[in-house]
Structure 1
């Protein structure tokens, strides 16, 4: 595995995805499929953040795309239709285990990290569609509880026990003030600093809507409540999925076809046409026949290209294909133009 898939060597603009890449590395031994989709979500966030990147940092994004392509080859992606249910079940199981350990007490940073991991995987579920209300509440609670436990660990005290309520009332009784501790859901943990996993910041908010990443209008909504029989959480066997079923519908619309050329209309005949046509001149007065020269054959593109130019064209074409797999049309178009330029093809304005 490349180091970049562990969150190493990321430019400042891509630091928010480090949490997802680190969690994916921890999840991989339990479920390679969930780890893969965690990296897919990190890649989606990276494309959202690319507008903040410096030009010299763009190769890092391309390296991440290459690493994802290599990672995809080693993951069983055979159950695209149930990928969302598999990832959701994993998130639900993580939350249940963290909450059970928290209620047994005493809660330590191991429990706090479990809540943080649960919130990260719940965030990963956003790539399949809007979160159902119960998962949304658990996401907020997991982040709030992680902050509470992290604060207590920093101050050297035991955290307050969790609310002793059951069912949905657990989340409703907390209230917005408790969930938004210190002004935001992750403020306390973010001020703890450091690169330790125990002080890892909560995951960033989901990416904003992108016109190139919206599902087509005909896409059916995901059925969050329907799960396949025999699906289990982190402790059980997890099936596979396919990137094509991850909900990366492309909203890119092809431009309208060009208008057809105007129909030729012969000029209006004069009202009084001559009753007969003029006789052609005698053959002796005709100019000598000269056949038209054949058109010049088109120049063969790439006939004299260097190996470096061919390699550059192949590389840009590969990046374009990778970008399209993540529905990033602007990056794909940019790399296709670069590939054509490397081949010496004239680009239409």
Structure 2
């Protein structure tokens, strides 16, 4: 594959290394994740340095790789349709995030949890390739980075971390120390197709202001049982139209949003995630029936 021809990340673009590493981990496992991590890395790299010879060589090589991936995965809708791609990447990031959160709340503290929290935060970053992040994703990203640094520091000091959000976390870390925000339509029981998050031993680059997690943890398996997370499996009944004649004035934005929910449902079915698919389809139906989310 074209990824083999990508040179090492130059020093001036070292902030991109973790996204490139995640992309490499997923080349065989999940090319959609791989594709959008590389695309985000290119977009960020162009902002950092697009003029030096080393940076240009690296960025052009990654762009060539992206073009090759488009051809190689011509039949993969998530690579060519950004609505589907965004749903796929967001669901994948949330699964990793919820795995780490479930382990943390069960007081199973180890290097795998640190790496999972941090990897989820990187994938939340990559979602910016689709535009501005929602407030929920921003909060979860901040919480994941804080938890990764906090648990790592506690383990390093030989201390036992506090499971879940801290009661006084707002004083310590603002709103990010509070409970993570997970979409109500997202399942608490995580059963993705892929048995592991990734097996790379690559170093992780931590943004300023946090402490680096260990560089060689083993990735956790996601196919084992996990405890219920912060969201609920309850599926509400469909909402009937408020207009007796069924006439609802829908805007173009309403149609786009309904299509997004349908794409999310399709992405969930790729993971055999029936509750999430049903929830998203019901949200689309509710919007089409009532004109309200």
TM superposition score normalised by structure 1:
0.50
Choose the corresponding residue for 1:189, options 211, 222, 228: 211
Aligned-partner SS, 2:92: helix
- Per-residue CA distance 1:215-270 (angstroms, 9 max, x = gap): xxxx9798497253242299559xxxxxxxxxxxxxxxxxxxxxxxxxxxxxxxxx
Deviation at 1:12, TM superposition (A): 0.8
RMSD of the alignment, in Å? 3.4
* Bigger-Rg structure (1/2): 1
1:34-73 equivalences in 2 (<5 Å): 34-51=33-50, 54-73=52-71
Report the CA distance shift for 1:153/1:233 in structure 2 as closer, same or farther (over 3 A): farther
Deviation at 1:154, TM superposition (A): 2.5
Which runs of no fewer than 5 residues in structure 1 stay unpaired?
166-172, 199-218, 238-349
Q: Within 5 A, what are the aligned runs for 1:253-332?
A: none
For the residues of structure 2 that align with 1:56 and 1:129, how far apart are their CA atoms? 28
Q: Structure 2: which 5+ residue stretches go unaligned?
A: 178-205, 218-251, 274-293
**Is the CA contact 2:13–2:55 (under 8 Å) kept in the aligned structure 1?**
no
Offset of 1:186 from its aligned partner?
Answer: 5.2
Of residues 233, 246, 267, the one that matches 1:231 is 267
- 1:32 Cα deviation after fit: 1.5
Poorly superposed stretches of 4+, deviation over 4 Å:
219-225, 233-237
Asked if structure 1 preserves the Cα contact closer than 8 Å seen for 2:84 and 2:267, the reply is no
Q: Secondary structure at the match of 1:143?
A: helix
Check 1:175–1:118 CA distance in 2 against 1; reply closer, same or farther (3 A cut): same
Q: Against the structure 1 CA distance between its residues 233 and 100, is the aligned structure 2 distance closer, same or farther, given a 3 Å change threshold?
A: farther
Aligned to 2:173: 178
8 Å CA contact retained: 1:41, 1:127: yes
Q: Please tell me whether the aligned partners of residues 14 and 46 of structure 1 are also in contact (alpha carbons under 8 angstroms).
A: yes
Maintained 8 Å contact 1:115/1:143: yes
> 1:127-166 counterparts in 2 under 5 A?
127-163=129-165
Partner of 1:95: 97
d(CA) in 2 for partners of 1:120 and 1:64? Answer: 18
Secondary structure in structure 2 of the residue aligned to 1:160: coil
Report SS of the residue matched to 1:9: coil
Preserved CA contact (<8 Å) 2:36 2:126? yes
Distance 2:24 2:112 in 1: 17
Relative distance call for 1:158 and 1:176 in structure 2 (3 A) is closer
CA offsets, 1:104-154, max 9 Å, x none? 222111011111111111111112122222211111100100111221233
**8 Å CA contact retained: 1:103, 1:162:** yes
